[in-house]
Amino acid sequence: MRGPTITFPDGTRRDFDHPPTGAEIAAAISRELAERALAVMVDGELRDLSEPITTDATVRIVTPEDPEALPLIRHDAAHVMAEAVQKLYPGTQVTIGPAIENGFYYDFARDEPFTPEDLAKIEQAMAEIVRADKPFVREEVSREEARRRFAALGETYKLEILDSIPEGERITIYRQGDWFDLCRGPHGPSTGRIGAFKLLKVAGAYWRGDPKRPMLQRIYGTAFPTKEELDRYLHQLAEAERRDHRRLGREMDLFHFQEEAAGSAFWHPRGWTLWREIESYMRRRLAAAGYVEVKTPQLIDRSLWERSGHWEKFREHMFTLEFEDRALAIKPMNCPGHVQIFNTRLRSYRELPLRIAEFGSCHRKEPSGALHGLMRVRAFTQDDAHIFCTPDQITAETAAFCALLMSVYRDFGFEQVRIRFADRPAVRAGDDAVWDQAESALWQAVRETGLEVTLNPGEGAFYGPKLEFVLQDAIGRDWQCGTLQVDFVLPERLDASYIGADGGKHRPVMLHRAILGSLERFIGILIEQYAGRLPLWLAPVQVVVATVTNDADSYAREVADLLARQGLRVELDISADKISYKVRQHSLAKVPVIAVVGRREAEERRLVLRRLGEQAQEQLDLETAAARLAGEATPPDLARGGATRPPAAQ
């Protein structure tokens, strides 16, 4: 009997006289590959190394360096953790245990709560299972056999999962030694191939995500092929905790959240100063780039959202209300409102491109469990804009926008930016011909502007393809902020048109674009990027003038007045506290500069400047210090243009 023909990634082929397993194929290539192999890709499907390949196929052996390896290793680690838990705590039931973006988890049903000490014990038990190097064995069983096995163990949650599997679907169990679980797989060769792992925390989780069902205990962990990779990740976690914008927001007195307005920030004076500085910067950049700013209503009748298509697509995320027999929605985005402004009169091609910008306040129904400080909110403000242009202007507008966006990111201290091309999603507005046109136009703009992009398949907006701009922060995390979307659909749905050079009516192309995305989220990212130590031009309080003794109070007031006239945001601290206490408190609040004045400084009209995070002090005469600080605090766009710094926000 002839076996299958296996095609390798380099195009070479090999015939086998029997259905080979992935392990056999790896061994046939080299001993080293066989030792490093974790799984096999068969025609794009990840499979166990032990599974025979019965038909002709394209095959790639998966090793620890491949992107498919990490979720596989983490899934293996989840099973090992579950075995360790049940070994240590008999009577505990296991439910589900998937690999997730940064690790894995398993949900357990146990009356007694897990403690941090328990996690250490579980890790030790996991290490023993890893050292035992137990093979992962896949078994296909009947539904009745699976029910018998799990019923014998008292695994009621597994029986419920089993009942939810559709009739006709294969039932598979994975076993490591005597321990087994209901699982689709695939898994690696054995427990000894997991690499380095760490259990991170315990959290509560409702069974099936339903608050009416039992509360389970979820243990989170992570795993990597090597200890070095694990150590880097744990360092990143520690850094992320140190930089957490929620904690820093409290220490810097920027904002707070409370249950009475869940998902909406209460901005304190310092936080609102930071907001206004960012907003002012963006306004200047947009004005210089030829945008006009508008403001559109918060409450808009349901009929407009139906015509735009948002009612069908986003209804479940929209806050709505009834008033005078009308259904109204609080806007979740600004796009339809900008089309209404475009449509207020007949436009000429000579007016295009028309760039309409808005710092649009939006609201969306985000689940309570998804809310996360400024990063995930219900009330947010977008630095939104829509460019109405002709098809032949798409490339030039894309190039201009990308140049503006990159310049803005550099000004905020982000140098690493990746661009992803997101094409048509499964659920979308418009027919395939419209999407073909939009995607072709955006690809042409990408090619002609020389942008380097990676494909993000199926993640386009529901009305058009888009470019996604992903920032990398100081500790290596990715944040998707900016976007540029090409839309042929909304102008058609909302009947936008202009008079072309031929005297006829034409549909404009609508480019949806944002740079910061959500101001709330971007401020959270900035705080974590700088660990609260914002650049001088962004700091809510740039200088605190602090006295050593009260006989310097008069001079301190004079210093504060002079610095304020230079455009600096200044606070005065002439309290009776010791200077060491003042320095400590203002440093905790991340004030960049503390200007210390005592009797000698008043007599000599000098300042002692203490910079945040630096031990050394600098002594300067008052006028020199004021001029230097004012120069350092000038926003980068004004510094480049030589413009005069506006008065500080009060």
Catalytic residues: 335, 364, 382, 384, 386, 466, 512
E-assigned strands of 63-209?
Answer: 93-94, 99-100, 103-109, 136-141, 171-176, 179-182, 196-206
Reduce the DSSP state of residue 517 to 3 states and report it: strand
Tokens of 193: 């191939």
Q: Which residues pair with 487 in a beta bridge?
A: 510
How far apart CA 105 and CA 120 sit, in angstroms, is 16
Burial class (CB in 10 A: 0-12, 13-18, 19+), 526: buried
476: left (phi over 0), alpha (psi -120 to 50) or beta: left
Alpha carbon dihedral 41, 47, 53, 59, in 10-degree steps, equals 10
What is the longest distance spanned by two Cα atoms in the chain? Answer: 102
Q: Which of 626, 525, 541 is nearest to 590 (CA)?
A: 541
Burial class (CB in 10 A: 0-12, 13-18, 19+), 184: exposed
Residue 319: other Cβ atoms inside 10 A? 16
β pairing state of 354-363 and 292-293: parallel
CA 84 to chain centre: 33
Tokens of 352: 């295009």
Tokens of 101: 């973006």
How far apart CA 470 and CA 634 sit, in angstroms, is 27
Helices (H) and strands (E) counted in the chain, each on its own, are: 21, 34
